[in-house]
């Protein structure tokens, strides 16, 4: 599907990409807002999930808080792309994998319960593919939300707030992992989740609220798949800047309408010398390039060298692997 044609489906997705009602019957609360019944809301969300327009109703977890993660890439010969992409996708902790227009052509996010497991996952990929993995850990997030509005003109995303790590508890990891998999689409999803975890419904809702306030959960709501909704011009733009210019430029990019992600990653000198990243999700390449022109005109990016890596194919998109055990749902 390239367009969202049903106005009610659009409202369910657009108005609840974050701030899912933390009440015993959240789908009933959503239904009241859009003017349908609870059963209809659940049925519509189930259909959207089955058609791949949404990934889940659940949460996105802040990188490197309850688990470990990195953005990684491989330079794959053209005749081996299918084979190596399958190797990467087979790793349980790989939650996003895209083919992009660059010598480093397969880009993926690898997640794991801890740094040791993450390193082991990357090592398995190297061993199975025979190719070196480029790993670019996150340094500073300027905007990592991605819950941009689907309807109307592009708007500036809210700047990221630092996480309050003091809020994280030992027993939060199973809850965060479950939310990365997605809530069950039933009238009382928090009660169902609480039953799986051996907790009370009230305690589950209370912890989700606390983790959200602490920015350990970056978003709780309907997690959409933008490519399936017509946002096929997915441009990763990387910038070469001296260290003292990265933070001002990253913050300026994060505040630019049309820029959907912005972050600083640790470069690999002599291999990858592009420390600043931003993402632009648009319906067409000309639309994406218009946003890029606006980014290039920012005073904080004056004279900065850049390159654009458009994605051409999505191999995998799931939730993060926070806890050992089951693979996140697709």
Average pLDDT estimate for 237-246: 97
> What are the backbone angles phi and psi of residue 15, rounded to the nearest 5°?
-85, -10
Query: In this structure, what is the dihedral angle of CA atoms 286, 283, 281, 74, given to the nearest 10 degrees?
Result: -80
Give the Å distances, CA to CA, from 235 to 50, 87, 127: 26, 24, 29
Given a cut of 60, whether residue 278 has pLDDT beyond it is yes
pLDDT at 147: 85
Half-sphere exposure of 31 (CA within 13 A, CB side): 15
Q: What is the mean pLDDT of residues 185-205?
A: 98
- Residue 320's pLDDT is 73
Among 66, 55, 218, 225, smallest CA distance to 142 is for: 218
pTM above 0.85, yes or no: yes
Question: Is 330's pLDDT higher than 80?
Answer: no
pLDDT for res 241: 97
- pLDDT of residue 256 exceeding 80, the answer is yes
Tens digit of pLDDT for each residue in 6-23? 999 999 999 999 899 999
Assess whether pLDDT exceeds 50 at residue 329: no
Report how far residue 151's alpha carbon sits from residue 135's, in angstroms, rounded to the nearest whole number: 35
| Residues in Cβ contact with 256 at an 8 Å cutoff, skipping those fewer than 6 apart | 156, 291, 294, 295, 298
pLDDT for 328 beyond 80: no
Q: How many Cβ atoms sit within 10 Å of the Cβ of residue 144?
A: 20
The count of C-alpha atoms lying within 13 angstroms of the C-alpha of 264, restricted to the half-sphere facing its C-beta, is 16
The chain-wide mean pLDDT, for the chain, equals 93
């Amino acid at each position: 599907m390239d367009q969202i044609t049903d106005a009610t489906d659009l409202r369910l997705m657009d108005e609840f990409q974050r701030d899912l009602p933390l009440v015993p019957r959240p789908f009933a609360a959503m239904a009241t807002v859009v003017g349908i019944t609870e059963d209809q809301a659940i049925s519509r969300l189930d259909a959207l999930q089955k058609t791949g327009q949404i990934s889940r109703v659940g949460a996105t977890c802040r990188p490197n808080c309850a688990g470990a993660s990195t953005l990684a890439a491989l330079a794959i010969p053209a005749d081996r792309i299918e084979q190596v992409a399958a190797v990467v996708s087979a790793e349980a902790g790989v939650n996003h994998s895209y083919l992009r227009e660059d010598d480093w052509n397969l880009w993926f996010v690898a997640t794991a319960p801890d740094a040791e497991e993450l390193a082991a996952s990357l090592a398995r990929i190297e061993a199975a593919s025979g190719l070196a993995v480029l790993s670019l850990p996150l340094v500073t997030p300027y905007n990592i939300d991605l819950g941009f509005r689907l309807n109307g003109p592009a708007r500036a995303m809210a700047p990221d707030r630092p996480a309050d790590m003091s809020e994280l508890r030992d027993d939060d990891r199973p809850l965060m992992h479950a939310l990365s998999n997605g809530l069950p689409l039933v009238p009382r999803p928090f009660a169902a989740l609480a039953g799986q975890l051996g907790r009370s419904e009230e305690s589950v809702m209370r912890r989700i609220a606390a983790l959200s306030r602490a920015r350990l959960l970056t978003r709780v709501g309907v997690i959409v798949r933008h490519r399936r909704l017509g946002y096929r011009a997915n441009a990763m733009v990387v910038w070469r800047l001296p260290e003292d210019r990265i933070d001002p430029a990253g913050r300026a990019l994060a505040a630019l309408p049309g820029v959907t992600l912005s972050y600083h990653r640790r470069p690999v000198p002599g291999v990858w010398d592009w420390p600043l990243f931003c993402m632009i999700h648009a319906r067409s390449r000309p639309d994406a390039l218009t946003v890029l022109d606006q980014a290039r005109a920012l005073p904080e990016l004056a004279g900065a060298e850049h390159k654009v890596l458009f994605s051409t194919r999505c191999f995998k998109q799931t939730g993060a692997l926070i806890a050992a055990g089951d693979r996140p749902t697709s």
